[in-house]
């Protein structure tokens, strides 16, 4: 295992590339030991929305709920930000952080979990965060609810965007936090529950909210607060865009042609960023083609069941393979959770691009039983230092 600093650097590089691929011309990656500028928006005496500046144009949002003895921090942010965040909270409330609630599994939601835990906070996360590098304590599956001071805090699981994605709703202050499941500046990336999962997430959030709810996304983007109509608009935009990508892909249009396609451009015209930088849309097109419109070979549920089980390496690392809604998922505690796409009896992709692929290779006994699995990770990928190579034997 590599040390924390290396891990932080890897995560920063990862996030840096994500940001580069998006709106931000970030001049520098986050620095350890630096002070971060944090803007507080007071909603009620009990609730503040805090925006941490990553650069002049990029802000990541947290919220705090002030209780009787301490503060609940929603979205822990990255660890180097934690001292600035802690100081800001102390200044605003005079109270320590006693609870941390993670909105989802995107790193910025949980990276500082340990920092606050070491200072006495309790961590509350969706159970899927066990399969990330997040430090976790209290776990929930479908719904978490807690009265904190005068505020009722509810986190509801949704199949949108990311692993362990939740809709956090602060009922009395009427504030909703959605992480990356909603963006004001561009299309959201759908997670492994696809466009359908993302659209169901928008619908769920719309139902929980009312016309006065202040909706806050993980990144500030175009604006800090949105009304729930913006969820309808984002949902319709994604739905239309995805359908168009499917049609054009089926008709044989190349990525280059799609980037400059008038229909696709006008489908996303609620987001000014694609007018400024039309080529940015390629990431969403590529993602949709990969997740929604790539033919995969088919396999029956009963055949998929033969892969389900626990696999162990000689070093003790455990992979678990589950079957959920007709899809195989593979996971390891403290590390990863991936959806597997069937290609052949011994090959399931984690992801695949035109140049490289990350897949799980299954091994069989001479009488055809699944006996093991080996991860095949592209060299230099984000996952290469995290997941050890080698075979895991089925138990």
Using the 8-state DSSP alphabet, how is residue 369 labeled?
Answer: -
Q: Does 128 bind Zn ion (CB under 5 A)?
A: no
Return the number of the residue (180 or 332) whose C-beta is nearest Zn ion.
180
Q: Tell me, letter by letter, the H, E, C secondary structure of 244-269.
A: HHHHHHHCCCCHHHHHCCHHHHHHCC
Helix intervals (H) in 152-218:
194-208
**Least gap, CB of 109 to Zn ion (angstroms):** 9
**Chain residues 80-119 in contact with Zn ion, contact rule CB under 5 A:** 106
Q: Does 180 bind Zn ion (CB under 5 A)?
A: yes
Reading the block at residue 1, the tokens are 């295992």
Beta bridge partners of 100: 73, 123
Return the number of the residue (128 or 180) whose C-beta is nearest Zn ion.
180
**Pairwise CA distance, residues 109 & 179, whole Å:** 8
Q: Which helix (DSSP H) or strand (DSSP E) does residue 66 occupy?
A: strand 59-66
Q: Is 276 exposed, middle or buried (0-12, 13-18, 19+ CB in 10 A)?
A: exposed
**Least gap, CB of 33 to Zn ion (angstroms):** 26
Return the number of the residue (75 or 341) whose C-beta is nearest Zn ion.
75
**Least gap, CB of 105 to Zn ion (angstroms):** 8
- The residue nearest Zn ion at its CB is 180
Return the number of the residue (342 or 382) whose C-beta is nearest Zn ion.
382
Using the 8-state DSSP alphabet, how is residue 61 labeled?
Answer: E
Options 28-36, 39-47, 112-120, 178-186: segment touching Zn ion (CB under 5 A):
178-186
**Least gap, CB of 162 to Zn ion (angstroms):** 5
* Phi/psi at 317 (5° precision): -70, 140
What is the secondary structure of 310-336 as a DSSP string?
Answer: EEE-TT--EEEEEEETTEEEEEETTTE
Q: List CB contacts of 355: < 8 A, sequence separation 6 or more.
A: none
**Least gap, CB of 161 to Zn ion (angstroms):** 6
Return the number of the residue (106 or 151) whose C-beta is nearest Zn ion.
106
Q: How many residues sit close enough to Zn ion to count as binding (CB under 5 A)? A: 2
Contact between 92 and 65 under an 8 Å Cβ cutoff? The reply is no
**Least gap, CB of 108 to Zn ion (angstroms):** 8
**Least gap, CB of 52 to Zn ion (angstroms):** 16
Return the number of the residue (77 or 313) whose C-beta is nearest Zn ion.
77
**Chain residues 60-79 in contact with Zn ion, contact rule CB under 5 A:** none
Q: Which residues bind Zn ion (CB under 5 A)?
A: 106, 180
């Amino acid at each position: 295992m590599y040390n924390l600093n290396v891990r932080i650097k890897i995560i920063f590089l990862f996030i840096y590339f994500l940001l580069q691929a998006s709106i931000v011309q970030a001049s520098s990656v986050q620095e350890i030991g630096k002070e971060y500028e944090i803007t507080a928006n007071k909603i009620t005496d009990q609730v503040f929305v805090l925006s941490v500046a990553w650069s002049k144009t990029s802000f990541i949002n947290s919220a705090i709920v002030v209780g009787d003895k301490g503060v609940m921090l929603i979205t822990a942010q990255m660890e180097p930000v934690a001292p600035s965040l802690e100081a800001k909270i102390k200044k605003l409330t005079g109270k320590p952080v006693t609870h941390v609630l993670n909105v989802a599994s995107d790193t910025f939601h949980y990276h500082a979990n340990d920092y606050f835990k070491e200072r006495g906070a309790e961590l509350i996360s969706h159970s899927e965060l066990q399969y990330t590098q997040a430090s976790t304590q209290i776990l929930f599956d479908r719904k978490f609810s807690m009265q904190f001071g005068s505020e009722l805090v509810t986190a509801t699981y949704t199949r949108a965007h990311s692993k362990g994605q939740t809709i956090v709703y602060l009922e009395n202050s009427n504030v909703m936090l959605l992480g990356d499941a909603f963006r004001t500046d561009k299309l959201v990336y759908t997670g492994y529950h696809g466009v359908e999962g993302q659209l169901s997430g928008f619908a769920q959030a719309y139902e929980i909210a009312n016309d006065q709810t202040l909706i806050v996304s993980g990144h500030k983007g175009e604006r800090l607060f949105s009304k729930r109509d913006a969820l309808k608009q984002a949902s319709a935009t994604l739905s239309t865009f995805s359908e168009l990508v499917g049609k054009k892909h089926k008709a044989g249009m190349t990525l280059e042609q799609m980037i400059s396609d008038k229909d696709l451009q006008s489908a996303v015209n609620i987001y000014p960023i694609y007018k400024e930088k039309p080529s940015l849309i390629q990431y969403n097109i590529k993602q949709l083609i990969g997740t929604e419109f790539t033919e995969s070979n088919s396999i029956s549920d009963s055949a998929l069941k033969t892969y389900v089980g626990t696999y162990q390496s000689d070093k003790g690392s455990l992979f678990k393979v589950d079957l959920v809604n007709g899809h195989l998922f593979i996971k390891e505690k403290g590390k990863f959770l991936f959806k597997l796409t069937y290609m052949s009896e011994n090959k399931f992709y984690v992801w695949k691009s035109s140049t490289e692929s990350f897949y799980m290779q299954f091994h069989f006994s001479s009488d055809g039983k699944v006996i093991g699995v080996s991860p095949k990770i592209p060299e230099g990928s984000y996952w290469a230092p995290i997941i050890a190579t080698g075979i895991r034997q089925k138990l």
